[in-house]
Amino acid sequence: LSPEDAGPAPQGQSEDPMPTTESPVEAAAVDAQILDWDGVEALVRSHKGKVVVMDLWSTYCLPCRKEFPNLVNLHKEHGDQVACISVSLDFDGLEDQPVEACREKVLKFLTDQGATFDNVVCSTPAETVFDSKIPHKSVPAVYVFDKEGNWVGKFPNLDEGDPEAFNYPEHVLPLVTQLLAQ
């Protein structure tokens, strides 16, 4: 007997399923893996054949949180051709705050944003990343890689008064569009 054949629900019972308090994106659809910086680089390489946009951010960074929805929108619009990777640099390496503790806070933010792409909580302390892994000393920063995995674009810091500040519509998206056309 199919639901269509069953007729209306008995009086006092709703035909609608129980309302849920889940967000539009189920928590299970959003995850954040813990990787060191070498693991982050391997993750970027694993997406060879796609344009990769890697967004470095932190929950304590207001400009990061402000621009993060742009990465979510990029994934929604071009997820079949563009690998979006968010890398949280919340971990500072202090013994009294393990990386797992950072993951909980990061995962809540990611779930609220609906970030259903590759999300990483970097276990390499942020200071080490800034000092020896990337050419920028703060977040947010976005790195774009072509389909062959070559680093082709970098967009540092989003301070509104900074002449080198970036935004997705004017800087990141045109480069991604150009790379997709190749």
3-state class (DSSP) for residue 57: strand
pTM of the model: 0.81
| Proportion of the chain above pLDDT 90, given as a percent | 66
Q: What is the pLDDT of residues 34-70, one digit of tens each?
A: 999 999 999 999 999 999 999 999 999 998 999 999 9
Q: What is the pLDDT of residues 4-23, one digit of tens each?
A: 444 444 444 444 443 334 44
Tell me: domain 27-181, CATH 3.40.30.10, correct?
Answer: yes
Q: HEC profile for 81-120?
A: CEEEEEEECCCCCCCCCCHHHHHHHHHHHHHHHCCCCEEE
- For residue 120, give the nearest of 57, 69, 71 by alpha carbon: 57
Domain boundaries, the chain: 27-181
